[in-house]
Chain A
Amino acid sequence: MRAQALGAGLVAQTQSSIPPFELHRPGSVAEVVALLAVHPEAVIAAGCTDLTAQLREGRVPRDLISVRRVPDLQQVRHDGGVLRIGAGLTHHEGSRHPLLQATLPSLAAAWADIATVRIRYSATIGGNLLARRFRYEMPVLLGALEADLELAGATEPRRPVDWLWGGGDHDGGDHDGSERDGAGAGAWRTRGLLTGVAIDTSDLLWFGYERSMRPTTTVALAIRVVDGSLRVTATIGSEYRRPVTVSTTADVAHPTDLDPGSVGRAVASRLPDDIEDRAGSAEYRRHLVAVLVGRLVATARDSGAQAPEGVTA
């Protein structure tokens, strides 16, 4: 079916034409924040691979702020045990960044598997998160890593990844979060501008990702040293429902002492009853999660993962 958006021209050349908007092309985070203060309902655009689909699905922005020319959004830094990844990095740039590969190579490897070659050159980590599509994988990876979203100009400068989903369970939200936070003149102060994600690596022992059962079930898993024990945090993804993050603590000091089967069962038992989705019952998904978590823990156990310097395991 061909649709015609008002004002887009007499003949739609595309399946659903994109409505006109005013374009802003700032060069710094401060300029973006200033623009958001004037245009609080503006849409933020980076790689546009998902945004163009949203626009064709009926989203009508009056103002569009392209952040492609904002160099601060392209940075990767590792200071004081915190890894910061700029929201404007494409999947290709981010996964191949030397600092990420040196600091958290398992995240780099998992990131390198996301999407197709062509999408990877355009799509950004920020867009992947803020599109709020259940099938996208960065919320799963970063959920297990307990990453924080860093938001410029917002009332709360840091939010956990779960904040993306709020109380709603809808798929396909806004690139900038305006719908979920309630569009309006003050809403942008709540959501701000996503400048990047921050991952605490100071107590991180191991991270891995299992996507062999995608899209039914994916599992990202991180092992941290907390008070001398190991905390296993897993985020469960699916094409059809929002990710779920659960943690369990194993009273052992080293990954070699972990029992994959018992950790898998412990994680699965903590999943909520509404874990069922179109791909399977709660029982089926718990079984899958136990198997996938067990595989990851076995890999961690065999990897010889060592506690970071200064962290007692």
Chain B
Amino acid sequence: MNETTIDFRLNGTPTEVTVPTNRLLADLLREDLRCHGVRSSCERGVCGACTVLVDDLPVASCSTFAFDVDGASVETVEGLAAADGSLSPQQQAFAECGGFQCGFCTSGMLMLTTGLLRQNPCPKRADIRSWISSNTCRCTGYEMILESVERAAELGDGGAR
């Protein structure tokens, strides 16, 4: 049988889909569920552009099979802003500090930041550097990204669900 049905929560919404067993989470989210903030780039789990949170932990959705999120909670950048469109603290911080240039890596960086702040609401710069080193910014705007994460922590509630 080359299909399987999975139940999971996508940005808080119960979701049931039947997918080919070889469907990758990134493709499920982007193509089937229209979460276009999930970016595919290196497709080797290296660059972090496709980072989403699965049960609060950052994972590379390009290197995760969709069947593996059965029963899990998946969060993408689409779930960060409030229903009225107001930005989350992390998004606000990235906007304030210029934590993006071309913007391609930003959704992955935001999800990584969300995961970090949930585990460590007041991270030291070394902690931030360690986490952010998981992701690649081809514009090399790392200093502003580091400042953005620090600002997100200042704004508090950065990892709010």
Contacts and interface: CB of A to CB of B under 8 A. Distances in A.
A116 B134 contact: yes
A19 B60 contact: no
A23 B21 contact: yes
B40 A118 contact: no
A118 to B, nearest CB: 4
A18 B62 CA distance: 11
A66 B60 contact: no
| Range for the number of chain A residues in contact with chain B | 20 to 34
B20 A13 contact: no
Contacts of B48: 118
Nearest to B41: A15
A137 to B, nearest CB: 16
B45 A53 contact: yes
B16 interface: no
B57 interface: yes
A45 B64 CA distance: 11
A64 interface: yes
Contact of A116 (B20, B67, B133): B133
A114 to B, nearest CB: 13
A23 B134 contact: no
Nearest to B133: A116
Given A118-B60, A121-B58, A52 B45 contact: yes
B86 interface: no
B68 A52 contact: no
A279 interface: no
A68 B62 contact: no
Contacts of A53: 44-45, 63
Contacts of B31: 13
Given A14-B27, A20-B22, A117-B131, A52 B62 contact: yes
Nearest to B50: A118
Contacts of A45: 65
B59 interface: yes
Contacts of A21: 2, 21-22
Given A20-B22, A118-B45, A118-B59, 11 more contacts: A8-B22, A14-B43, A18-B22, A23-B2, A23-B67, A52-B62, A56-B44, A66-B65, A117-B134, A118-B112, A118-B134
24 contacts: A8-B22, A14-B43, A18-B22, A19-B22, A20-B2, A21-B21, A22-B1, A22-B21, A23-B21, A23-B67, A48-B65, A48-B68, A49-B45, A52-B65, A53-B45, A66-B67, A68-B68, A118-B58, A118-B59, A118-B60, A118-B112, A118-B135, A119-B45, A121-B59
Interface of B: 1-2, 4, 20-22, 24, 26-27, 30-31, 40, 43-45, 48, 51, 57-60, 62-65, 67-68, 112, 130-131, 133-135
